[in-house]
Copies of this chain bind each other. A is one copy, B any other.
């Protein structure tokens, strides 16, 4: 892990909670930001957050993909969600210094660590930032609720379709999508750990999706061939 200067490419300045925190569009001098946030680079596959530790910092992912997960006693793990550029690791971490989950880098990532006390003090005098945080909390809750419903009530095909649709929506807010091709740097094992299946079964179902002309995930790119069918499978309500 190398310390780097604040990243010019960091999209977290533009939108969401992090954007609001940093002035939401108004140009914030990097030097000003540099005083209370630290950027670091982490290579693909490496752990970022270890569970059950107290951290004085809150984390935001700046570039690359990460994932948040719970490590279980039986050796298995459950991926709770994937982190995209601009994402707070967890909204509740703004107030809670004790993190109950783990985070790892899916690709090489750049993350920003900010002092919790500093963020909280900025929160105090700024209703817009509070609103952005509340919104983040709401979005997280809604996504968790839908994930619970997907895991509890949907078949393997439906769960994978649901995950794809969810990720497609999130990816589309951050980059222009052409030809219905979404960058999705997941291994089948990650999909399996996210939707509660084995990677073998995920492989079979991705094969079915290809055969039926619904979608094709290969080489880190999801090509959506028939979005209608995908939504028919993966939508909850």
Which chain A residues have a beta carbon within 8 Å of chain B's beta carbons?
51, 70-74, 76-78, 80, 90-92, 94-96, 100-101, 131, 134-135, 137-138, 140-142, 144-149, 151-153, 193-196, 235-237
Contact = CB atoms under 8 A, between A and B. Distances in A.
Contact of A135 (B95, B145, B148): B95
Given A151-B196, A237-B73, A96 B145 contact: no
A135 B78 contact: no
Given A140-B141, A148-B80, A92 B236 contact: no
Nearest to A237: B73
Given A196-B151, A196-B153, A141 B72 contact: no
Contacts of A145: 70, 80, 100-101, 144
23 contacts: A70-B146, A70-B149, A72-B149, A72-B153, A72-B236, A72-B237, A73-B236, A77-B153, A78-B148, A91-B137, A91-B141, A92-B134, A92-B138, A94-B134, A95-B131, A95-B134, A96-B134, A140-B141, A144-B144, A147-B148, A151-B151, A152-B193, A152-B195
Interface-centre pick from A91, A138, A149, A152 (highest chain B CB count, 10 A): A152
Nearest to A94: B134
Contacts of A70: 145-146, 148-149, 236-237
Contacts of A74: 153
Contacts of A138: 92, 95-96
A151 B70 CA distance: 12
Contacts of A134: 92, 94-96
